[in-house]
């Protein structure tokens, strides 16, 4: 398959590196409104076709899928453009700025009969996959409690200055990943209660969020996120897990140490590999980019719905919206309300 990528910014560099290693796909065209970024990426990745305007790129055609790596405000326009052009779509998180837009985007791809996947990559990190396969195998029985925790003091604002400027920050940018991981382990949720706080005075949005979820299948989980936690060792960008099941427990601790206790104890080092183009501490995220892009490519080839499809992601996005509503109104929010 041939692909085009829109948005040659900070994170797209990982996506471009990963596409070079994907079996069955290559990027043949690039688009960015910023000339310097466009030219730099085209040179670095040896891509001949370049565009400032996405509409012009779709008009010229010659590709089967588009990878949308811009920030959320442009996603709906670009997804609808791609659906009209009849190409498959992979779009970065946050998928949309609100649920109405997200629903319209899912419908547009469905009407065009094209695969639509959200680049929701945290559940594709290999340490998370290792834990997921143990829980899904039934080794700890039926999970009844989960804690999904991401606490860090890492400076994310230098690489992504827009994160300091938005009215919303941690739930929309990072919490969305951790809520998605909670769904991957415990299924969809029906209720959420959240509190938020801003500790860093230099940013506009919240940098701490604590959320309590009731899952439809019966489990309860705590999803806690912070970019105001100064601790050693710094665990960025690790998500720590604690799952209690009817037959045992699983923990993913700092340093990618996975412990399963059920009929004895089993401790494994599930550190992700450092890919040749990756660098620590981002290697965990970088490897998941390769995995998710391969999943997208394989699903299109097999005519399968991706695990993190657009319609699946509506549930994750609904949790984000519900968490903000809960924090603003100081009450538990049921997802049916949205």
Q: Which residues bind ligand NAD (CB under 6 A)?
A: 6-12, 31-34, 37, 54, 69-72, 74, 92-93, 119, 121, 160, 162, 173, 285
Closer CB to ligand NAD, 18 or 300, in the complex: 18
Give the whole-angstrom CA distance, residue 156 versus residue 17: 21
Token output for 152: 């860090």
Closer CB to ligand NAD, 93 or 114, in the complex: 93
Residues 78/70, Cβ–Cβ less than 8 Å: yes
Give the whole-angstrom CA distance, residue 81 versus residue 108: 9
- Grouping H, G, I as helix, E, B as strand and the rest as coil, residue 28 is strand
Give the whole-angstrom CA distance, residue 92 versus residue 165: 19
- Cβ within 8 Å of residue 335, ≥6 positions away: 188, 189, 190, 191, 192, 315, 318, 319, 322
Closer CB to ligand NAD, 7 or 245, in the complex: 7
Residue nearest to ligand NAD (CB): 9
Please, how many CA atoms are within 13 Å of residue 51, restricted to the half-sphere of its CB? Answer: 17
Cβ 265 to ligand NAD, closest distance in Å?
32
Cβ 191 to ligand NAD, closest distance in Å?
26
Cβ 269 to ligand NAD, closest distance in Å?
23
Cβ 14 to ligand NAD, closest distance in Å?
8
In the chain, count of helices (H) and strands (E)?
10, 15
Closer CB to ligand NAD, 93 or 191, in the complex: 93
Residues 9/31, Cβ–Cβ less than 8 Å: no
Closer CB to ligand NAD, 12 or 327, in the complex: 12
Closer CB to ligand NAD, 7 or 175, in the complex: 7
Cβ 254 to ligand NAD, closest distance in Å?
19
Cβ 164 to ligand NAD, closest distance in Å?
12
Beta strands in 103-158 (DSSP E): 116-119, 143-151
Residues 1/65, Cβ–Cβ less than 8 Å: yes
Upstream peptide bond of 225 is cis (omega within 30 degrees of 0): no
Closer CB to ligand NAD, 81 or 250, in the complex: 81
Cβ 88 to ligand NAD, closest distance in Å?
18
Closer CB to ligand NAD, 11 or 227, in the complex: 11
Q: Residues of 121-159 as b/e, b for ≥16 C-beta within 10 angstroms?
A: bbbbbbbbbbbbebbeeebbeebbebbbbbbbbeebbee
Cβ 284 to ligand NAD, closest distance in Å?
10
Cβ 309 to ligand NAD, closest distance in Å?
16
Radius of gyration of the chain (CA): 20
Closer CB to ligand NAD, 29 or 219, in the complex: 29
């Amino acid at each position: 398959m041939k692909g085009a990528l829109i948005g040659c910014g900070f994170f797209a560099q990982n996506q471009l590196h990963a596409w070079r290693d994907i079996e069955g796909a290559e990027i043949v065209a690039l688009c960015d409104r910023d000339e310097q970024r466009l030219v730099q990426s085209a040179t670095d990745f040896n891509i001949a076709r370049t565009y400032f305007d996405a509409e012009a790129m779709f008009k010229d055609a010659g590709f089967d899928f588009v990878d949308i790596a811009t920030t959320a405000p442009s996603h709906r326009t670009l997804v609808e453009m791609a659906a009209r052009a009849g190409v498959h779509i992979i779009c970065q998180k946050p998928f949309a700025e609100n649920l109405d837009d997200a629903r319209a985007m899912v419908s547009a791809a469905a009407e065009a009969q094209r695969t639509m996947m959200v680049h929701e990559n945290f559940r594709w990190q290999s340490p998370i996959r290792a834990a997921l396969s143990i829980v899904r195998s039934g080794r700890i029985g039926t999970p009844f409690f989960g804690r999904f925790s991401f606490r860090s003091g890492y400076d994310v604002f230098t690489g992504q200055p827009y994160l300091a400027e938005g009215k919303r920050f941690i739930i929309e940018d990072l919490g969305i990943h951790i809520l998605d991981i909670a769904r991957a382990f415990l299924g969809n949720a029906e209720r959420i209660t959240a509190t938020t706080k801003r500790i860093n005075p230099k940013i506009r949005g919240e940098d701490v969020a604590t959320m309590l979820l009731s899952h439809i299948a019966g489990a309860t989980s705590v999803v806690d996120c912070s970019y105001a936690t100064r601790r050693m060792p710094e665990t960025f960008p690790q998500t720590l897990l604690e799952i209690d099941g009817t037959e045992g427990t699983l923990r993913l601790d700092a340093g990618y140490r996975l412990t399963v206790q059920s009929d004895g104890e089993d401790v494994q080092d599930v550190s992700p590999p450092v890919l040749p183009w990756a660098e620590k501490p981002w290697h965990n995220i970088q490897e998941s980019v390769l995995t998710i892009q391969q999943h997208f490519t394989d699903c299109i080839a097999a005519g399968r719905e991706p695990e993190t499809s657009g319609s699946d992601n509506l549930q994750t996005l609904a949790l984000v919206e519900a968490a903000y509503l809960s924090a603003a109104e100081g009450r538990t929010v049921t997802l049916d309300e949205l």
